Chains A and B, each alone.
Chain A
Amino acid sequence: MSFVQVRGVFQSYGNRPIIERINVDVAEGEFISIVGASGCGKSTFLRLLLAEETPSKGSISIDGAAPAVEPGRERGVVFQRYSVFPHLTVRENIVAGESFAAPLGRFWGARRRAALERADETLARIGLNHVAQNYPATLSGGMQQRLAIGQALTARPRILLLDEPFGALDPGTRLQMHDFLTDLRAQTGMTIFMVTHDLSEGFKLGDRVLVFDKIRWDPHDPAAYGATITYDFDARDGGIPYQLKEDTDVLETA
């Protein structure tokens, strides 16, 4: 059985359908990119995966567990903005990844010291140890997103959800973040869903690229139908179809 199972998911707000008939199976460790035009339900789908919303119909389950009704520790998330806590230092933000699940959200004594040590290791790994005592507002956008990803992974989620995580970053920082995410994924083998506007980013990072679009379209009432998954590309090896791979000469002589 697949790791993440999406079965017959519909979601509508009031009587306005947003997405319809979504069926996907995702294996553990896969990186799924989700692309599509604005207003095509990408972010709605991510909120459903996150269990921030529950679908009108259908179900989403992780590792055979019952469908979640609210976000929990098995799902990690990084948003485009506001993903770290502005009132905690960089170090405390990482510790929060562990301690928020404790009663009152705090560690004391030896447990706290151990968590702080682990946080320092994490910060060294994500290259933020030099700003451990700073508040997030003093960090650049790329550093804040690195911190957000590090924080999400500290909670050891089963799946990681990224909602346009690099959308607000400049192109250079974006490329650095791609390498960062690729390395991190190689280390952790995390199952990742990433919503992006950037097609090339989706194909570069993803194993699969899901395209959301509306297949039914009423010109008199554009909101009458929801979007669904129209393509499910295999994006491994740079998205080159396996037919071509066997005969790579085609590309080289072209």
Chain B
Amino acid sequence: MRLINRHPDRVGLVFLAAVPFVLAFIAYAVGSGMRLAINPADKLLPAPSHIARTALALFTEPDKRSGTILLWNDTLVSLRRLTLGVGISTLIALVTGLLIGLVPYIRATLSGFVAVLSMIPPLAVLPILFITFGLEELSKVVLIVIGITPVLIRDTAGRVLDIPREQIVKAETLGASSLTIALRVALPQILPRLIASVRLALGPAWLFLIAAEAIAAEAGLGYRIFLVRRYLAMDVILTYVVWITIIAFVMDRLLLTLSRRAFPWSGAGL
């Protein structure tokens, strides 16, 4: 039987999916053990048990000074910035993308502009944002918006243009106005695609969030990582990195589930 036609069974699937995780963990544990054997005070690769103890403390013990559990506070602050930024971007992209995709006059006006805008490296304008919007929440949210909106707009507009011409004409022959075509034909069909784009944009959104927090913030996951970097607190950094990864992964799955539940027709194309 050809290699491309061999499929693992259920147990095999779970086992194979777990293999790289286990291997990565073993590699880390071995490396950490080797370093600690030479120098028990080594801070670069703390032992997994050490990280676990730190993690437990981070998740449960309140800060002596403020009385809050810092990790949860950081998580809330960062998630607020992230969801605000991604939410605003999604709304802007949805409306602008629909308009660019459906209305030739707006397409002629905006598509070139958005294409150029999307080429600006967002981190290069971060200083401008700090100067313009201050060091508070606003500049961080705006960085995420500036970072992911142009790509989302282009993707949404492209998807609107992908709707078969026949469907638009059909809607016209049923007497639909431009607004009706936008709301009843185009909008529902691009929503699943928009969710897929947002899932892909979550990666860059985290990148911009952590970059902004690293430079100027008083709380947040990225802020904490870059703060404890000064003390070479690898156990804290690694806990935060794993935590961020878990959050990002859960968000991705939630969006996928939402898309499947809300748009059952989108699984199989017509």
The answer to whether A121 has its CB under 8 Å from any CB of chain B is no
Question: What residues of chain A lie closer than 8 Å to B175, measured between beta carbons?
Answer: 72-73, 100-101, 155
0/1 interface trace, chain A 124-145, chain B, CB 8 Å (1 if under): 0000000000011110000010
Give the chain B neighbours of A87 by CB distance below 8 A.
Answer: 188-189, 263, 265-266
The segment from B31-39, B59-67, B106-114, B162-170 that touches chain A is B162-170
Q: Across the interface, do B269 and A82 meet the contact criterion of CB distance under 8 Å?
A: no
B170 to chain A, nearest CB (A): 6
Q: B173 touching A104 by the CB < 8 A rule?
A: no
1/0 per residue, CB under 8 A from B, across A99-113: the answer is 011011110000000
A157 within 8 A of B: yes
Stretch at the interface among B92-100, B179-187, B222-230: B179-187
- Grouping DSSP codes into helix (H, G, I), strand (E, B) and loop, the B interface class, with mixed when no group exceeds half, is helix
| A72 CB contacts on chain B under 8 angstroms | 172-173, 175
Whether, in the assembled complex, B40 has its beta carbon less than 8 Å from a beta carbon of chain A, the answer is: no
List of A residues within 8 angstroms of B185 by Cβ: 85
Q: Is the pair A155, B173 in contact by a Cβ cutoff of 8 Å?
A: yes
| B116 part of interface (Cβ distance < 8 Å) | no
How far is it, in angstroms, between the C-alpha of A220 and the C-alpha of B164 when the chains are bound? Answer: 36
Compute how far the CA of A81 lies from the CA of B174 in the bound complex, rounded to whole angstroms.
17
B174 touches A136 (CB 8 A): no
- Residues of B in contact, count (CB < 8 Å): 28
The smallest beta-carbon distance between B128 and chain A, in angstroms, is 41
A96 interface contact, C-beta 8 A: yes
Q: Let me know if B173 and A76 touch, CB within 8 A.
A: yes
Closest Cβ of chain B to A170, distance in Å, is 18
Interchain CB contact under 8 A, B270 and A82: yes
Partner of B264, one of A75, A81, A135: A135
- B265 near A135 with CB under 8 A, answer yes
Task: Give bound CA distance, A103 to B185, whole Å.
Answer: 14
Tell me, rounded to whole Å, the shortest Cβ–Cβ distance linking B255 to chain A: 18
Is residue B84 within 8 Å, beta carbon to beta carbon, of the partner chain?
no
B171 lies within 8 A of chain A by Cβ: yes
How many residue pairs between the two chains, A and B, have CB atoms under 8 Å in the bound complex?
Answer: 96
CB pair A77 B179 closer than 8 Å: no
Interface residues of B in 247-270 (CB under 8 A from A): 263-270
* A12 within 8 Å of B (CB atoms): no
Please tell me which one of the listed residues B171, B174, B181, B189 contacts residue A86 in the complex, with CB atoms under 8 A apart.
B189
> Given contacts A81-B166, A82-B164, is CB(A100)–CB(B269) below 8 Å?
no
Q: Which residues of the other chain, B, contact A100 by a CB distance below 8 angstroms? A: 171, 174-176, 180, 184
Whether A50 is near chain B, meaning CB under 8 Å from some CB there, is yes
Given A50-B169, A87-B188, A87-B189, are A155 and B164 neighbors across the interface (CB < 8 Å)? Answer: no
With the chains together, A152 CA to B172 CA distance in Å? 11
Query: Smallest CB–CB gap between A237 and chain B, Å?
Result: 32
Known: A85-B167, A105-B184. A71 touches B173 (CB 8 A): yes
Contact A104:B170 (CB < 8 A) given known A84-B270, A135-B264: no
B269 in complex: contacting residue of A86, A105, A152, CB < 8 Å: A86
Residues of the A chain whose Cβ atoms lie less than 8 Å from the Cβ of B269: 86, 137
Q: Quick check: B174 and A104 within 8 Å, CB to CB?
A: no
CA of A106 to CA of B181, assembled, Å: 11
**Complex interface bits, A50-92 against B, C-beta within 8 A gives 1, otherwise 0:** 1010000000000000000011110111010111111100000
A59 CB to nearest B CB, Å: 20
The 8 closest A-B pairs by CB, nearest first: A101-B175, A105-B180, A82-B164, A73-B175, A82-B166, A100-B176, A71-B172, A100-B174
Q: Which residues of B contact A (CB under 8 A)?
A: 164, 166-167, 169-177, 179-181, 183-185, 188-189, 263-270
Give the B-binding residues of A (Cβ under 8 A). 50, 52, 70-73, 75-77, 79, 81-87, 96-97, 100-101, 103-106, 135-138, 144, 148, 151-152, 155, 157
Sample (10) of A-B pairs whose CB atoms are under 8 Å apart: A52-B169, A71-B173, A73-B174, A79-B170, A82-B166, A87-B266, A100-B171, A100-B176, A105-B181, A137-B265
